[in-house]
Structure 1
Amino acid sequence: MEEEWLWGWDPTPGIVSVWAEPDGRAFVWRRLPESGELVRDDLRFRPWILLASLEDLAHLGPRLAPERPERPETPERLAKHEASDERRAPDARRMGTSPLVTYQELDGPGTLRYIVRADDGRALARAVLHGAGRRVGRALEHLRELGPDRVFVLPPEEQYLMASGRTYFRDLAFDQLRRMQFDLETTGLDPDRDRIFLIALRDPEGRTEVLQAHDEGASGEADLVRRFMAFVHACDPDVIENHNLHGFDLPFLAARAQALEVPLTLGRGGGPGLRKRPAARGASLGRGGAEGRDALRRMRYTVPGREMIDSMDAVRRHDFSARDLPGHGLKAVARHFGLAGPSREHISGAHVYEVFRRDPERVLRYARDDVTEAAGVARLLGGAAFALARMAPRRYERLADAGPATGVLDPLLVRAYLRAGAALPVHQSSDGTPHQGAALHLFATGVARRIVKADVASLYPSLMRQYAIGPERDRLGVLLALVDRLVEQRLGAKAKARACPPGSAERYTHEALSAAMKIVVNSAYGYLGAASLTRFADVHAANEVTRRGREVLDLLCRELAARGVTLLEADTDGVYFAVPESFTETDERRIVAEVATLLPSKVHLEFDGRYAAMLSHEPKNYALQPYDGALVLRGVAFRSSRAEPFGEDFLRRALRALLAGHVAGVREAYVATVGALRRRGISTYDVAARVRLTKSSAQYASTRLQRRELSYEAVLSSGRTAWTSGEHVRVYRATGGRAALLPDPDAEENPERDGASRIDDPRDYDVDYYVRLLRDTFAARLSRALSPEDFAAAFADPEQLSLFDASLTHARPVLNVLRDPLSNRT
Structure 2
Amino acid sequence: MTPTLEDEWLWGWDPTPGIVSVWAEPDGRVTVWRRLPGTGALVREEVRFRPWLLLSSLEDLSHLGPRLRPEAEGLAPVSYQELEGPGALRYLVHAEDGRMLASAVLQGASRRLGRPVGHVRELPEDTVLSLPPEEQYLTASGRTYFRGLGFDALHHLQFDLETTGLDPQQDRIFLVAVRTPEGQAETLEAQGPGDAAEAELLQRLAARIRACDPDIIENHNLHGFDLPFLAHRARRLGVPLALGRDGAPGLRQRPSSRGAALGRGPAARAQDPMRRTRYTMPGRELIDTMDAVLRHDFSARDLPGHGLKAVARHFGLAGPERELIPGPRVHAVFLQEPERVRRYAREDVSEAAGLARLLGGAAFALAQMAPRRYERLADAGPATGVIDPLLVRAYLRAGAALPAHEPGDGTPHSGAALHLFATGVAQRVVKADVASMYPSLMRQYRIRPQRDRLGVLLALVDRLVEQRLAAKAQGQAAAPGSPARHTHEALSAAMKILVNSAYGYLGAAGLTRFSDVHAANDVTRHGREVLGLLCRELARRGVTLLEADTDGVYFAVPEGWREADERRVVAEVAALLPPLVKLSFDGRYAAMLSHEPKNYALQTYDGSLLLRGVAFRSSRAEPFGEDFLRRALRCLLAGDVAGVRTVFVETVTALRRRELPTQAVTARVRLTKDSPQYLATRERRRELPYEAVLASGRTEWTPGEHVRVYRASGGRAGLLPDAETAGAGSDPRDYDADYYVRQLRETFAARLVRALTPEDFAAVFADPGQLSLFAPRLDQARPILTVLFDPATLPS
* Further displaced range: 2-11 or 364-373: 364-373
**Residue 664 (1) aligns with residue 664 (2):** no
Q: Is the 8 A contact 2:265 2:676 kept in 1?
A: no
Q: Give the Cα separation in 2 of the matches to 1:454 and 1:729.
A: 42
Q: How does 1:260-339 map to 2 (within 5 A)?
A: 260-286=237-263, 290-292=268-270, 295-339=273-317
1:157 paired residue number: 134
Quote how far apart the aligned CAs of 1:779 are.
0.8
- The equivalent residue for 1:601 is 579
Residue 159 of structure 1 aligns to a residue whose secondary structure is helix
1:665-680 to 2 correspondences below 5 Å: 665-680=643-658
Corresponding position: 1:55 with 2:32: no
Selected match of 1:252 from 229, 234, 239: 229
Gaps of 5+ in 2: none
Residue 344 (structure 2) pairs with residue 366 (structure 1):
yes
Contact 2:18 2:35 in 1 (8 A): yes
Q: 2:123 aligns with which of 141, 146, 164?
A: 146
For residues 485-564 of structure 1, the aligned pairs below 5 Å read 485-564=463-542
Equivalent residue, structure 2, for 1:183: 160
After TM superposition, give the deviation of residue 286 of structure 1 in Å.
Answer: 3.5
Kept in 2, the 8 Å contact 1:346–1:754? The answer is no
Closer/same/farther in 2, CA of residues 306 and 108 from structure 1, 3 Å limit: same
Per-residue deviation at 1:11? 0.4
CA shift at 1:554, angstroms?
0.6
Deviation per CA, 1:511-546, whole angstroms, max 9, x where unpaired? 000000000000111111111111111111111111
One-letter amino acid of the counterpart of residue 334, structure 1: A
SS of the residue corresponding to residue 784 of structure 1 reads helix
Matches within 5 A, 1:562-601: 562-601=540-579
Name the residue aligned to 1:780.
Answer: 750
| Separation of aligned partners in 1, 2:704 and 2:370 | 31
Quick one: structure 1 residues 33 and 759, their matched pair in 2 at CA, closer, same or farther if it must change by over 3 Å?
farther
Contact 1:473–1:536 at 8 Å: present in 2 too?
A: yes
* Matches of 1:669 and 1:296, distance apart in 2: 50
Q: How much has 1:427 moved relative to structure 2?
A: 1.1
Query: Displacement of 1:52 after TM fit?
Result: 0.9
Give 1:792 deviation, angstroms.
Answer: 1.3
Paired with 1:717 and 1:429, the residues of 2 have a C-alpha distance of 52
Q: Distance in 2 between matches of 1:161 and 1:780?
A: 55
Go from structure 1 to structure 2 and tell me whether the alpha carbon gap of 1:332 and 1:263 turns closer, same or farther (over 3 Å shift): same
Match in the other structure for 2:633: 655
- Three-state SS of the structure 1 residue aligned to 2:440 is helix
- Residues 251-282 of structure 1 deviation map (CA, whole Å, 9 limit, x = unaligned): 11111111221111111014143111111222
How far residue 717 of structure 1 moved from its aligned partner, in angstroms, is: 6.2
Please list, as runs of the form range in 1=range in 2, the aligned pairs for 1:604-619 lying within 5 A after superposition: 604-619=582-597
Q: Which amino acid aligns with 1:358?
A: Q
Give the deviation of 1:102 after TM superposition. Answer: 0.7
Q: 2:492 is paired with a residue of what secondary structure?
A: helix
The residue that corresponds to 1:2 in the other structure is 6
* Contact 1:565–1:580 under 8 Å retained in 2: yes
Match among 15, 20, 27 for residue 19 of structure 2? 15
Q: 1:468 aligns with which of 446, 468, 481?
A: 446
For the 8 Å contact 1:285–1:293, the answer to whether it is kept is: no
Query: Which residue in 1 is equivalent to 2:177?
Result: 200
Contact 1:182-1:242 at 8 Å conserved across structures:
yes
- SS in structure 1 of the partner of residue 792 of structure 2: coil
Q: CA, structure 1 residues 280+722, in 2 after alignment: closer, same or farther (shift >3 Å)? A: farther
Cα distance, 1:754 vs structure 2? 8.0
Greater CA deviation, 229-238 or 692-701?
Answer: 692-701
Residue 804 of structure 1 deviates from its aligned partner by 2.2
- Computed over aligned residues only, the root mean square deviation of the Cα atoms, in angstroms, reads 2.4
Query: 1:695, CA displacement in angstroms?
Result: 7.3
After TM superposition, the structure 1 = structure 2 runs for residues 341-352 of structure 1, keeping only pairs within 5 Å, are: 341-352=319-330
Is the partner of 2:423 in helix, strand or coil?
strand
1:40 paired to 2:18? no
Alignment check: 8 A CA contact 2:710 2:718 kept: yes
Q: Does residue 818 in structure 1 map to residue 788 in structure 2? A: yes
Q: 1:400 to 1:735 in 2, by over 3 A?
A: same
| 1:158-211 residue CA offsets vs partner (Å, 9 max, x unmatched) | 111101111000000000000011111111111112111111111111111111
Describe the SS at the equivalent of 1:68.
Answer: helix
After TM superposition, give the deviation of residue 766 of structure 1 in Å: 3.0
For residues 531 and 728 of structure 1, the distance between their equivalents in structure 2, rounded to whole angstroms, comes to 38
Gaps of 5+ in 1: 71-80, 82-98, 745-752
Superposition deviation, residue 725 in structure 1: 7.9
Q: In the alignment, which of 362, 379, 388 is matched to residue 384 of structure 1?
A: 362
Aligned to 1:797, the other structure's residue is in SS state coil
**Contact 2:424 2:786 (8 Å CA) reproduced:** yes
- Does the CA-based 8 Å contact 1:447-1:785 persist in structure 2? yes
1:214, distance to aligned residue in structure 2 (A): 1.6
Give distance in 2, aligned partners of 1:259 and 1:275: 16
1:79-94 matched pairs, under 5 angstroms: none
Asked if the contact 2:293–2:359 (Cα under 8 Å) also holds between the matched residues in 1, the reply is yes
Deviation at 1:665, TM superposition (A): 2.4
Pick closer, same or farther for the CA change 1:700–1:363 going to 2, 3 Å.
Answer: closer
Q: Does 1:769 align with 2:769?
A: no
CA distance in 1, matches of 2:628, 2:163: 36
Is residue 800 from structure 1 mapped to residue 778 from structure 2 by the alignment? no
- Cα distance in 1 for partners of 2:529, 2:439 equals 15
The farther-off stretch of 387-396 and 191-200 is: 191-200
Percent identity reads 75
Cα distance 1:528–1:575, how it changes in 2: closer, same or farther (>3 A)?
same
Residue 643 of structure 1: aligned partner: 621
> 1:241 and 2:241 equivalent?
no
Q: 2:455 aligns with which of 438, 463, 477?
A: 477
- In 2 relative to 1, CA 721–276 (structure 1 residues): closer, same or farther, beyond 3 Å? farther
Q: Residues 222 and 698 from structure 1, CA distance in 2 versus in 1: closer, same or farther, beyond 3 angstroms? A: closer
Structure 2 equivalent of residue 87 of structure 1: none
1:428 to 406, 413, 417: 406
CA drift at 1:805: 2.1
1:173 aligns with 2:150: yes
Count of residue pairs the alignment pairs up: 790
Q: CA deviation at 1:689?
A: 3.2
Distance in 1 (alpha carbons) for counterparts of 2:183 and 2:585: 40
Query: Structure 2: which amino acid aligns with 1:46?
Result: R
Q: 2:112: which partner in 1?
A: 135
Matched residue type, 1:437: G
State the AA in 2 paired with 1:332: A
Post-superposition offset of 1:691: 4.4
CA deviation map 1:650-708 (0-9, x unaligned): 21221122112222222232223323333444444443334456778888788766655
CA–CA distance in 2 between the matches of 1:501 and 1:755?
49
CA distance in 2: counterparts of 1:415 and 1:723, whole angstroms: 48
**Alpha-carbon offset, residue 636 of structure 1:** 0.9
8 Å contact kept, 2:190–2:197: yes
CA 662–641 in structure 1, closer or farther in 2 if over 3 Å, else same: same
Tell whether the 8 Å contact from 1:288 to 1:723 is kept in structure 2 after alignment: no
* Aligned 1:394-433 pairs, distance under 5 A: 394-433=372-411
Q: 1:692 to 1:355 in 2, by over 3 A?
A: closer
Distance of aligned partners of 1:709 and 1:462 in 2 relative to their CA distance in 1, 3 Å threshold? same
- TM-score, reference length from structure 1: 0.91
Q: Is the 8 A contact 1:286 1:723 kept in 2?
A: no
Structure-2-length-normalised TM-score: 0.95
User: Match of 1:822, SS?
Assistant: helix
Partner Cα separation in structure 2 for residue 106 and residue 422 of structure 1: 5
CA distance in 1, matches of 2:304, 2:365: 26
| Distance (whole Å) between structure 1 residues aligned to residue 323 and residue 789 of structure 2 | 52
CA contact (8 A) 2:600 2:616 kept: yes
Contact conserved, 1:291 with 1:724, CA < 8 A, in 2? no
> Where does residue 76 of structure 1 map in the other structure?
none
Establish whether residue 226 from structure 1 lines up as the match of residue 203 from structure 2: yes
The answer to whether the Cα contact below 8 Å between 1:110 and 1:426 also exists between their aligned partners in 2 is: yes
1 CA distance for matches of 2:115 and 2:685? 44
